[in-house]
Amino acid sequence: QKTETIHPCGHGLRSEFCSIVLQGYHVFLCNDLFLGYPNFPLVQVVLQRSLQQHPNGLIYIYFEGRFLMTRTRMREAIERFGDLVQKGQGAVDSMHLRNTSRSASVETESGLISELAAMTVEEAEEDTPPALPARPGVTSESTSSASEWRQLQYLGHWERSLCLMSLGRWLDAAEGFNLLRNENNWNKAVYTYSLACCMWEHYLTLCGGSAPVRTTQLTEEQRRVLEIVRRLMELVPTLKRRVAGKSIPIEKFVIRKSKKFSQQDSFLMRPGLELLHAWNLYSKMPYERLLVLRDEVEREIAHLAHFAPISRAPSNPYRHIFYYDDLAVLLLTKAAVLRELAYPSFVATLASSGDTNSVPTGTPPGDAEYKSEPGLAPIA
């Protein structure tokens, strides 16, 4: 059937409920629970109609952000989630939240690191994380428009941070996780671990891509960031909670990883990339980002090859006591990236709905093995 006949032009109460259910199913459930391919033309018609009727509707803005994520349009999704958390504030300078310039990134970097470094050892040993001042652009005021929408705005912070992680903007993602860790009670262990992962990935960037074996040669900035990661990782096990007497599976994972960080003398093998697996983000990454990740993972595998699984580095005997776990994480990440490069998940989705606007139109040099989904026309 045509989408016009599937969704008539009525604007009654039941029509709005049906719109929300349709958008939730095709934008959220189909991708994250693997219930089938979403109908993008239908979603686009329903979403445009809903936004025309309710341009400031937070739930529709959220669905639009998720829709853009599914289409691998991460930068546009970041902007929409930024709009979500800004609604109700009045006149707010949106450039703080949409900082794409290098100068803004430098200010964010120095400010966030200074705030996190201000944590004392006593605060790190407490059961709850210290309350940190809100950063410009990702402010606590963004959640003060109406109390009933506060949780949905926190959801916007969460989704926006995941998008930033998938693009490798680790410090920008850390801003959102830091705000959630201080203001939201959904799961502080996950927020704290996510913040620690982002700071660790930033630490690796400062170190040239891989963690140095000898920490005695670190610069002052590298030491500060590493100490922040250590304190955050120590906090994670203290934030464990139970629901109906049962432990939350994702909490078990982050607690185990934080303990592993200590067992390896302050080291984890690319926890940020591993966390992307948990939230099913590789299938939503832009093609260019996948190429960058492929090169990063190959460099990490080559670097790990210098450490034999039986022997230990003399300067740090605990660095790779989980050698095969580290290798497995890298190989899994490489496989996920190559799978998306060879058989993009979104290609079959778009082709099945007749929308090919976002399908790659060319094969980058050196990627002769790039293929289309079986049963579809090859990508020229």
Per-residue confidence band for 298, with pLDDT thresholds at 50, 70 and 90: very high
- How far, in Å, CA of 240 to CA of 251, rounded? 7
Answer yes or no: are the C-beta atoms of 165 and 285 closer than 8 Å.
no
Query: Which of 214 and 62 is assigned the larger pLDDT?
Result: 62
Nearest to 257 by CA among 282, 281, 280, 232: 232
Q: Which residues contact 15 (CB under 8 A, 6 or more apart)?
A: 8
Within-domain flag for 1: no
- How far, in Å, CA of 269 to CA of 289, rounded? 19
Query: Which of 205 and 34 is assigned the larger pLDDT?
Result: 205
Which pLDDT belongs to residue 133? Answer: 43
Within-domain flag for 26: no
Per-residue confidence band for 229, with pLDDT thresholds at 50, 70 and 90: very high
Within-domain flag for 71: no
| Mean pLDDT, residues 326-336 | 95
Answer yes or no: are the C-beta atoms of 44 and 71 closer than 8 Å.
no
Within-domain flag for 67: no
Within-domain flag for 326: yes
- How far, in Å, CA of 34 to CA of 28, rounded? 10
| Mean pLDDT, residues 92-104 | 40
Sign of CA dihedral 202, 205, 210, 211: negative
| Mean pLDDT, residues 224-228 | 94
| Mean pLDDT, residues 164-182 | 95
Say what the pTM is: 0.79
Query: Which domain, by its residues, includes 313?
Result: 94-342
pLDDT at 242 over 60: yes
Within-domain flag for 198: yes
32: tokens are 């994250």
| Mean pLDDT, residues 98-116 | 56
Nearest to 116 by CA among 221, 228, 199: 228
Within-domain flag for 205: yes
Q: How many domains does the chain have?
A: 1
Within-domain flag for 17: no
| Mean pLDDT, residues 289-296 | 95
